[in-house]
Amino acid sequence: MADITGVSWKQIREFVDELFGDEQFLGHLQKYERDFHLLKMASTKLFAKKVLVQYAVLRALAPNLMVETGIANGVSSFYVLGALRRNGKGCLYSIEVNNPSYLPPGREPGWLVARDLRDRWRVIIGSSESVLPNLLRELK
């Protein structure tokens, strides 16, 4: 990651460590940990390496714009938005086909994302095939 992002491995480590020092961030995840355990889906690990890597890379690169396809419960979105908040800039555009089979009953896509992170988040419902080309043109 250090080679890809251009920041030192120590800084990458600090980015990951800052998550575990953020009581609000951790508290929000822990609040829903039982719900995720009950889902019994491999993609619903709240502290998986893949989301820690995403977070660290986004902290290092500090992008102005992110686009993701697929929200489901919003684990990745939560980490991305947390990184954007820490960076003090950036917006996440998320495209979701709205398949309820990935969600707990009665939950909407991205339900895990804390309300205080949603000001940097634009959710677009539709298939990536139909939405993504126009979105990319709009965002240039």
- Which residues, in sequence order, are CB contacts of 26 under 8 Å at separation 6+? 19, 20
CA-closest candidate to residue 12, choices 49, 45, 44, 46: 49
Q: Give the number of other Cβ atoms within 10 Å of residue 66's Cβ.
A: 20
Mean pLDDT of 21-27: 86
Give SS3 for 121.
Answer: strand
| CATH fold for the domain made of 2-139 | Rossmann fold (3.40.50)
Q: What is the mean pLDDT of the chain?
A: 89
Rounded to the nearest 10 degrees, the angle between the axes of helix 49-61 and helix 75-87 is: 30
Q: Is the dihedral of CA 122, 125, 131, 132 positive or negative?
A: positive
pLDDT tier, 101 (very low <50, low <70, confident <90, very high otherwise): confident
* Alpha-carbon gap, residue 54 to 33, rounded angstroms: 20
Residue 36 has pLDDT above 90, yes or no: no
Which burial class, exposed, middle or buried, applies to 4 when counting CB atoms under 10 A from its CB (0-12, 13-18, 19+)? exposed
Residue 106 has pLDDT above 60, yes or no: yes
* Alpha-carbon gap, residue 42 to 45, rounded angstroms: 7
pLDDT at residue 42, rounded to an integer: 54
